[in-house]
Amino acid sequence: MKTILITGASGFLGDKIFDSLSSLNEYKLVLGVRDPSKISGIDKFKNAEIRYFNLVDDATYFQALVGVDAVVHLAAMDYADCEKNPELAWKVNVNLLEAFFLKCKESGVKQFVYFSTFHVYGPSLEGVITEETVTNPVNNYSKTHLEAEKIVLSNLGIEGIVVRLSNAIGKPLHADSSAWKLVVNDLCKQAVTSRKIVLQSTGKQLRDFIPASVVGFAIDTILEKNSTINASAIYNLGSGKSLSILDIVKIIQKECQDLYQFTPTFETRENTTEKISSFHFSVKKLSQLGFVCSTTIKKEIGEILLSINN
């Protein structure tokens, strides 16, 4: 049974990936977290091994990696913190990532899955976006992720795998989670708490959304199938379908009506200079490995809405 260390496991994605991988009963999962008390009391983690891991404390690396075959690396600074503190962003997302990556090699880790972002392609996406599309990062968040990608793909005797994730949506693990600031979660919370959705834009901009609950299954596919290739690789991970924020609002309205018997109103802000990009985030490469998205955006939004009153 392959042992997988998930770093940043107490975060939004770590929770979802744990749920998916643990349901397969094919892996021993080790959760690396800065504050073990945040998840040790949560019932679903009772059979998981929890280890203290802090990316800014290299003394924690070796113990966290004992017996580990593969790493799913989620520990990184988010967009807001990267823009607020660029120097720290480069230290954490690039320099410390490199130190940890090298320690993984020394510790005998065979596969290293690094979660990057589709924002490395740039802000004005047009046409079909594949893994070969020229990157154009414009902020500290995307620039540091792209630099980290180069480290992971450097072929230093470890199978480095980069996952460029689109917009994952799903209910956060904690009520005070920063994941409630993500656009879909925020809109759902507005809908339930005030019965009104206020957009800070026209809502016409397109994005690729993927249910967070399937991200772990994508990782399972990659860990299994990419090992037969035995080479570093990049995979786009999304739904492969572009939706506008207005499309998401309509889904939220319908789900509120079905679940709570009310339809939230919504307001937009007009912007006559707004340029709407038309793009398709291609996930063909991952699909060819055998990955299939097993749920829908509609179902995921319904679960978010139900969690707000519970």
Domain CATH code at residue 52? 3.40.50.720
* 102 falls within a domain: yes
Per the structure, the complete domain to which residue 12 belongs is given by 2-168+209-237
Residues 152 and 271 placed together within one structural domain of the fold? no
**Are residue 202 and residue 216 in the same domain, yes or no?**
no
DSSP β-ladder status, 242-244 and 206-211: antiparallel
- State whether 18 and 129 are in the same domain: yes
Within this chain, do residues 217 and 233 fall inside the same structural domain, yes or no?
Answer: yes
CB-hemisphere CA count at 13 Å for 131? 19
pLDDT value of position 10: 87
Q: What is the DSSP string of 243-298?
A: EEHHHHHHHHHHHHHHHHS---EEE----TTPPPP-EEE--HHHHHHT----S-HH
Q: What is the pLDDT of residue 48?
A: 85
pLDDT band at 156 (very low <50, low <70, confident <90, very high): confident
Does residue 230 have a pLDDT over 70? Answer: no
Which residues sit opposite 128 in a β-bridge? 280
The single-letter DSSP state of residue 91 is: I
Please check whether residues 80 and 99 belong to one and the same domain.
yes
Looking at the structure of the chain, the number of domains it has is: 2
Q: Token match 């690789």: residue?
A: 233
Q: Residues 167, 116: contact at Cβ < 8 Å?
A: no
Please give the Cα distance from 81 to 89 (Å, whole number): 7
Return d(Cα 187, Cα 173) in angstroms, integer: 17
Q: For residue 290, is it within any domain?
A: no
Q: Are 96 and 114 within 8 A, CB to CB? A: no
**Domain annotation covers residue 288:** no
Q: What is the pLDDT at residue 178?
A: 82
Are residues 183 and 34 part of one domain?
no
Q: How far apart are CA 280 and CA 276, in angstroms?
A: 13
Residue 105 included in any domain = yes
What is the β-pairing status of strands 242-244 and 70-73? Answer: unpaired
State phi, psi for 280 to the nearest 5 degrees: -125, 115
DSSP annotation of 200 reads S
Q: Residue 218 falls within a domain, yes or no?
A: yes
Span of 57-71, 131-145, 168-182, 249-263 with lowest mean pLDDT: 168-182
- Please report whether residue 285 resides in a domain: no
Asked if residue 177 and residue 300 are part of one domain, the reply reads: yes
22 and 135 part of one domain: yes
Contact between residue 266 and residue 194 where contact means Cβ atoms under 8 Å apart: no
Shared-domain flag, residues 214 and 149: yes
**Is residue 289 included in any domain, yes or no?**
no
- The answer on 194 and 78 residing in a single domain is no
Same domain, yes or no: 148 and 38: yes
Does some domain include residue 180?
yes
Q: What is the pLDDT of residues 81-126, one digit of tens each?
A: 999 999 999 999 999 999 999 999 999 999 999 999 999 999 888 8
- CB atoms under 10 Å from CB of 199, counted, come to 18
Could you tell me the pTM of the whole model? Answer: 0.94
Q: What is the CATH number of the domain that holds 175?
A: 3.90.25.10
Q: Do 84 and 102 fall into the same domain?
A: yes
